[in-house]
Amino acid sequence: MRRALTGALGAAVAATLVTTATPAAAIDDVNTTQLRKAVTVNGILKHARALQVIANQNDGTRASGLPGYEASVDYVTEQLRRSGYSVKKQAFTFSFFRSLSEPTLSQVSPTPTDYETDIYSYSGGGEVTGVVVPANDNVVPATEEPSSTAGCTPGSFDPAPAEDAIALVQRGGCDFAVKVDNAAAAGYDAVIIFNEGNPGRTELSIGTLGDPKDVPVVGLSYADGVALIEQAAAGPVTLSVSTEVETDPNRTTWNVIADLSPKDLKKVKNKDQVVVVGAHLDSVPEGPGINDNGSGSAGILAIAQEMADLKLTKKLARPVRFAFWGAEESGLLGAEHYVASLSDQQRSKIYANLNFDMIGSPNYVRFVYDGDGSSGGPVGPPGSDVIETVFTDYFESQGLASEPTDFDGRSDYGPFIEAGIPAGGLFSGAEGVKTPEQAAVYGGTAGEWYDPCYHQACDDITNLNVKALNELGDAAAHATLTLTKSRSG
């Protein structure tokens, strides 16, 4: 969710771009009323409550690599097998990380101050007290064009002083890990990354570094970062940073992959056009993850069960495959492992990927992944535009507004589009700030995050918006059945 695709899959795709069947320019109209009526808010909430119970029994978290995630895998596996699917747990190893205590960041001199901070995933552990040194290319005040690229080159940092020193660098322009690596190479003992400063990028914000680092890395708001830069310009400023972490470079976790039963698969006409319907099952270590992404997991689990109960799985034009991804919060690792594990031939048989990462945000917007790039972001692989239209046409038919959200690679569709596979899906919003215009259309509160509990302990069963679950859950059911039953393409 937090980094671009790298490694084995990136190399494989660079060597051979697989040709896949793609959704036709016009998808057949499919009557999805029966399935949409069967996929209810109560049905979705039943699974969300089960995930909450699992978190309650496992220190409040369902993060990959911890017992709460394994219990979530067992729950989903049992539910799918009861519904007649052929289910397998796909094991893989990953670099596990969690923070064992609240990180701290304080100014020792000249003005003792405690700052609001948080830790970056894969930060190193330890306590560092030293002078703060801003990067050479921080952009203060922030400018929209060009945005900051602070810390993205080795020359961004002067060599660290002989004593312990802490680098202060602005968000933007490259992966967080690049900034940290450049700072560490220049001799810094800890790194603070402050937010960029443009609209929606001012509050304290954190992310993942992708792989374990040797130095503590914490976050800071734009305002606090600017204040520190101004203080440092006037004279030495000494800070203290403290982090405590647990890491394991070879922790085992799982994806859950559910296919049609062999009997139902025999009845499918286009067996080589698989629709993969996915959602990540893991939470962050800090909380139970009931919206992120218990909502998406519960939603597609309810769709899978109702399709089986209504015997729709016996009447499909294309196979459906339900996938529950592990270690998404560690960098899309489950989806990346799955796509990389496929042969070229197997990859070519994936007709489309539907991704549902958060469908119950309290202050929600009906976001649709922007397959055609009309909002100015990246364009998805051919066919992604058609998938987008399936969602937007459905919302329009229900008298509901929707708006595009960029294919920015922050969720499990990333490895699929990197492999040239058409993708689409829904998103109800995370740490972005709702605009007054959006509040006028969708309701809710302007100026607040779409999910004020995003990546926090308060992302529990009380953090779900039932209207969002109803509207986005129905849209997910509609798209799933439309792509699997349409005879076109």
Residue 467: closest CA among 367, 362, 358: 362
Query: How far is it, in rounded angstroms, from Cα 148 to Cα 153?
Result: 12
Query: How far is it, in rounded angstroms, from Cα 71 to Cα 77?
Result: 10
Q: Which of 70, 328, 329, 336 is catalytic?
A: 328
Residue-wise burial string across 400-418, b where 16 or more C-beta atoms lie within 10 A, e elsewhere:
bebbbbebebbbbbbbbbb
> Concatenated DSSP letters for 400-427?
---EEE---S-STTHHHHHTT--EEEEE
Q: Is 328 a catalytic residue?
A: yes
For the record, the structure tokens of 20 come out as: 């896949």
Query: How far is it, in rounded angstroms, from Cα 360 to Cα 294?
Result: 9
Alpha-carbon distance values, 323 to 90, 297, 315, 355, 474 (Å): 10, 9, 20, 10, 19
Query: How far is it, in rounded angstroms, from Cα 474 to Cα 476?
Result: 5
For the record, the structure tokens of 78 come out as: 């049992």
CB 213, CB 119: distance < 8 Å: no
Residue 428: closest CA among 479, 373, 378, 471: 471
- Residue spans of beta strands (DSSP E) within 271-349: 274-280, 320-325
- Residue spans of beta strands (DSSP E) within 174-244: 190-194, 217-220, 238-243
- Give the three-state DSSP class for 127: strand
Q: Which residues pair with 93 in a beta bridge?
A: 252
- Could you write out the three-class secondary structure of 86-101? EEEEEEEEEEEEEECC
Residue 1: closest CA among 358, 322, 256, 247: 358
Instruction: List active site positions.
Output: 328
